[in-house]
Chain A
Amino acid sequence: MADFEVPVLNEYPVIPKVKEGVMAHSAPFLAAEKFQTPLGFPGELPENWKEVAIDKMGELLGKYRSLQVFLDICVHCGACTDKCHYYLGTADAKNMPVARQELLRKVYRRYFTFAGKYFPKLVGAVDLTKEVLDDWYSYFHQCSQCRRCSVFCPYGIDTAEISMAAREILDTVGKGQKYCNEIIGKVFVVGNNLGLPEPALRDTLEGLEEEIEEDTGVKVRLPLDEKGAEILLITPSADFFAEPHVDGLIGYAKVFHEAGVSWTVSSKASEAANFGMFIGSYENMRRVALRIREAALELGAKRIVFGECGHAWRVAYSFLDTLAGPFDFLDQNYPIPQHICEFTNNLIKENKLRLNKAENDHMKLTFHDSCNVARGAGMGNVEGGQFTIPRALIKASCNYFYDMPQDTIHDATFCCGGGGGLLTDDLMEVRVKGAQPRMEALKRVTEEHGVTNLAAICAICKSQFAKTLPYYGFTMDQIVSVHQLVSNAIVLKGSEQEAELDGTAE
């Protein structure tokens, strides 16, 4: 089914031997001018591109301590070399995190350091050429900015920071990536990544209300643009659209219903994703984030809750207050913003949700820690809450739960392979190969515990797995939303399920 070789799944992980250039052909489609200009980037390579690129690098070095320090202090110890799922899946030398950084570092050295200016050969410094630029374009789009390398680096060098800077430089010389930049444009114009306009959104939400009523006999609302609602829900637009995402959305609606809070979706900010982070553009990331502030103000919301989306949660948890704060107009008694998992977990702890685990007995679950949640954000205001809370939700909703091997979960989790702006068909090969370490871990628990399903709290992970699971002999419907499990188990007050359980059904 593929025009490339799908990696094999070994019983125990094998670190591949270095191969040079085997993924050099992989590069995403370039953004056309019409996708570049709305973001403030040129449509093609300017005549003085080299100057522009070096100037941009200089500017970024002055703005980001991470970039400046990380480019200086790597000792080439090699601790990170076998930590990247793209290296493990492709064996391409330049997919080793340090080698990926080196693509930018060797140019940094040449133009910004004494050693690189006068002894370029000695320290491996090179001039910026079109070939180098192409290498950047290729390999900085084989990094999902998952930060796994930064966990293991003795100085915490985060290749994601380097990739973001590189993509920003590429954008400023007109070499933007179509997938990301087209999507950011759509968010500015329509309000979400999928380009779903308000009427379509309204239609979808009404459809879901009917579906829930049919299933349970309870009228659960999914309001849109409702002024005065207490909670503004910001969720990835995939939740309005595709399986298994939409089952998660149904889960949030049921949870809000049981909690008895008023809530609403906004058509203006009908998207949690913020691809501005992927392209490393503070300005674009900020513009995308400001829609959320505006929507909350316009609707008069008191709280902001985020749905299941990995990088969106990183931007929300770690950056939102910086980008679009201060949120002094919201209710300060709640975390700003709050994750839907935190919300649901609190209800469970307060015994306000009735969950019938047997509803999920046809599944044996494992949990995929999404990289951006695991290493880029937190939950529950306790260290490691992002690991325990989603698992607590699954365990409260299901009887069978098994973790994957220790070195593939929590902060050592492997990226799904489709994060960081790579979730596009033109990068299918690197996506499938990058999924190999996760698939291998899944196979382990499948064989050891008979696990049937993989739960996740990220729209990108869910889409990526739906596409890549079949390449490895699994089926696309094995990926489920965490709130889908909650949704299955939840016993709404006054529902048919409640009557059945309590023996009061006619």
Chain B
Amino acid sequence: MTLVTTLYVGLFYAATIILIVGVALRIKKYAQTPSPLKIPTMPAPRTQTGVVMRIFREVVFFESLFRANKWTWIFGYLFHFGLLLVLLRHLRYFTEPVWFWVNWIQPFGKYAAFAMVIGLLGLWGRRFLVDRVRYISTPSDHLILALLVGIGLSGLGMSYLAHTDIVSVKTFFLGLMRLSPQPLPADAFLLTHLALVALLMIIFPISKLMHAPGVFFSPTRNQTDSSREKRHIASWAQQLEAGER
């Protein structure tokens, strides 16, 4: 095995562990922290089914963002929807045989990459052009956008400028998954692409990217409006009560 291959094998194992363990620990923390009070943003659904629908609309349509700001919504939606298709398209590197529906979306995946990058550039533009958004932007906000744009451009580079040996890439990743590392083609676009992807995986659990799992834990969105029907009490509040009565 070449040095490059060894490095990337180590990098991807580490990044995967950090991503999975890191996100799992954060989710565990969110799940275990109690919500002592009923605080859904009203009017809220009165049933659990209603809540599922509300979160579905937030995740699939970015409903609240649509009400808030049309430009952010358009760019945000282009980016996320593009990202979703791109990631689904990427499943072909990790499955053998490739699932039939992953094959179906291959053609859309190519355009999705442009949508993703355009969306990202639009969002990034806001950070310079809109004074309010400029004020609240931190260096890490810019860097995360740069990272994603970098991933997108290096990916597009492989698709349109200098093709990589996709079959070998797939062999490499299947090898990783089967714990028998295989050689990785060493062209610049691919190595850049993969290094940036690994970085993204590593920072995911310690950054604002936690918004993706976090949105499901937001009490203002995931609670029902049922405070007059069913008593809601947190364990620590119950202890407080027990101490007095």
Q: Which listed residue, B34, B44, B62, B240, touches A65 by the CB 8 Å rule?
A: B34
| B192 interface hit (Cβ, 8 Å) | no
| B102 interface hit (Cβ, 8 Å) | no
Please report the C-alpha to C-alpha distance between residue A420 and residue B78 in the assembled complex, in whole angstroms.
38
A45-81 contacts to B (CB < 8 Å): 61-66, 68-70, 72-81
Chain B residues with CB under 8 A of A122: 138-140, 143
| A98 interface hit (Cβ, 8 Å) | yes
Please report the C-alpha to C-alpha distance between residue A266 and residue B45 in the assembled complex, in whole angstroms.
34
- B53-91 contact mask (Cβ, 8 Å, vs A): 1 or 0: 000001000101101110010001000000000000000
Name the residue in A69, A80, A96, A113 with the highest tally of chain B Cβ atoms < 10 Å from its Cβ. Answer: A69
Please report the C-alpha to C-alpha distance between residue A446 and residue B34 in the assembled complex, in whole angstroms.
47
Stretch at the interface among B106-114, B150-158, B175-183, B211-219: B211-219
Chain B residues with CB under 8 A of A153: 64, 68
Q: Which listed residue, B30, B44, B130, B220, touches A158 by the CB 8 Å rule?
A: B220
- B15-38 contact mask (Cβ, 8 Å, vs A): 1 or 0: 000000000001001100111111
Chain A residues with CB under 8 A of B220: 66, 150, 156-158
Name the residue in B37, B62, B64 with the highest tally of chain A Cβ atoms < 10 Å from its Cβ. Answer: B37
Please report the C-alpha to C-alpha distance between residue A161 and residue B219 in the assembled complex, in whole angstroms.
11
| B227 interface hit (Cβ, 8 Å) | yes
Chain B residues with CB under 8 A of A74: 208, 211
A317 touches B215 (CB 8 A): no
Please report the C-alpha to C-alpha distance between residue A6 and residue B219 in the assembled complex, in whole angstroms.
37
- A372-395 contact mask (Cβ, 8 Å, vs B): 1 or 0: 001111100111111100000000
| A282 interface hit (Cβ, 8 Å) | yes
A326 touches B231 (CB 8 A): yes
A348-373 contacts to B (CB < 8 Å): none
| A167 interface hit (Cβ, 8 Å) | no
Chain A residues with CB under 8 A of B68: 79-80, 83, 152-154
| B101 interface hit (Cβ, 8 Å) | no
A137-153 contacts to B (CB < 8 Å): 147, 150-153
Please report the C-alpha to C-alpha distance between residue A124 and residue B208 in the assembled complex, in whole angstroms.
13
A99 touches B135 (CB 8 A): yes
Chain B residues with CB under 8 A of A171: none
B138 touches A124 (CB 8 A): yes
A81 touches B133 (CB 8 A): yes
| B193 interface hit (Cβ, 8 Å) | no
A78 touches B43 (CB 8 A): no
Chain A residues with CB under 8 A of B221: 155-156
Of all chain B residues, the one with the shortest Cβ separation from A327 is B231
| B163 interface hit (Cβ, 8 Å) | no
CB distance from B242 to the nearest CB of A (A): 13
A318 touches B38 (CB 8 A): yes
Residue count of chain B within 8 Å CB distance of chain A: 62
Compute the total of residue contacts between A and B using a CB distance below 8 Å. 208
B44 touches A383 (CB 8 A): yes
| A477 interface hit (Cβ, 8 Å) | no
Q: Which listed residue, A155, A319, A336, A375, touches B218 by the CB 8 Å rule?
A: A155
A81 touches B136 (CB 8 A): yes
- A441-476 contact mask (Cβ, 8 Å, vs B): 1 or 0: 000000000000000000000000000000000000
Indicate whether A63 sits within 8 Å of B208 (C-beta atoms), given known contacts A72-B26, A79-B69.
Answer: no
Q: Which listed residue, A73, A119, A161, touches B210 by the CB 8 Å rule?
A: A73
Please report the C-alpha to C-alpha distance between residue A53 and residue B42 in the assembled complex, in whole angstroms.
32
Residue count of chain A within 8 Å CB distance of chain B: 74
| A321 interface hit (Cβ, 8 Å) | yes
| Main secondary structure on B side of the interface with A | helix
B206 touches A383 (CB 8 A): no
CB distance from B36 to the nearest CB of A (A): 6
Of all chain A residues, the one with the shortest Cβ separation from B46 is A383
Q: Which listed residue, B43, B62, B236, touches A63 by the CB 8 Å rule?
A: B236
B188-225 contacts to A (CB < 8 Å): 203, 206-208, 210-211, 214-215, 217-221, 225
Chain A residues with CB under 8 A of B38: 318-319, 322
| B159 interface hit (Cβ, 8 Å) | no
Of all chain A residues, the one with the shortest Cβ separation from B208 is A75
A65 touches B69 (CB 8 A): no
B41 touches A150 (CB 8 A): yes
Please report the C-alpha to C-alpha distance between residue A217 and residue B227 in the assembled complex, in whole angstroms.
42
| B95 interface hit (Cβ, 8 Å) | no
Chain A residues with CB under 8 A of B42: 374-378, 386, 411
B33 touches A65 (CB 8 A): yes
Q: Which listed residue, B45, B132, B141, B211, touches A82 by the CB 8 Å rule?
A: B132
B33 touches A76 (CB 8 A): no
| A93 interface hit (Cβ, 8 Å) | yes
Of all chain A residues, the one with the shortest Cβ separation from B31 is A65
Chain A residues with CB under 8 A of B139: 121-124
CB distance from A313 to the nearest CB of B (A): 11
B37 touches A322 (CB 8 A): yes
Of all chain B residues, the one with the shortest Cβ separation from A290 is B244
Please report the C-alpha to C-alpha distance between residue A150 and residue B41 in the assembled complex, in whole angstroms.
7
B218 touches A157 (CB 8 A): yes
B135 touches A93 (CB 8 A): yes
Chain A residues with CB under 8 A of B30: 65, 68-69
Please report the C-alpha to C-alpha distance between residue A384 and residue B232 in the assembled complex, in whole angstroms.
21
Of all chain A residues, the one with the shortest Cβ separation from B42 is A375
| A283 interface hit (Cβ, 8 Å) | yes
| B233 interface hit (Cβ, 8 Å) | yes
Please report the C-alpha to C-alpha distance between residue A110 and residue B234 in the assembled complex, in whole angstroms.
28
Chain B residues with CB under 8 A of A66: 35, 39, 218-220
Please report the C-alpha to C-alpha distance between residue A66 and residue B233 in the assembled complex, in whole angstroms.
15
Chain B residues with CB under 8 A of A375: 41-42
| A12 interface hit (Cβ, 8 Å) | no
A76 touches B137 (CB 8 A): yes
Q: Which listed residue, A69, A115, A154, A317, touches B58 by the CB 8 Å rule?
A: A154
B232 touches A64 (CB 8 A): no
A161 touches B72 (CB 8 A): no
- A385-423 contact mask (Cβ, 8 Å, vs B): 1 or 0: 111000000000000000000000001000000000000
Q: Which 3 A-B pairs have the closest CB atoms?
A: A73-B214, A156-B220, A152-B68
A-B contacts, 17 of them at CB < 8 A, read A63-B234, A64-B34, A65-B33, A66-B218, A69-B214, A77-B72, A78-B72, A124-B139, A151-B64, A151-B67, A152-B64, A154-B64, A156-B219, A156-B221, A161-B39, A377-B42, A383-B43
Interface of B toward A, CB cutoff 8 Å: 26, 29-30, 33-39, 41-46, 58, 62, 64-65, 67-69, 72, 76, 123, 126, 130-133, 135-141, 143, 203, 206-208, 210-211, 214-215, 217-221, 225, 227-228, 231-234, 236-237, 240
Given A69-B30, A78-B72, A155-B211, 10 extra CB contacts under 8 A: A18-B132, A62-B33, A123-B138, A150-B220, A153-B64, A158-B41, A317-B228, A377-B42, A381-B46, A384-B43
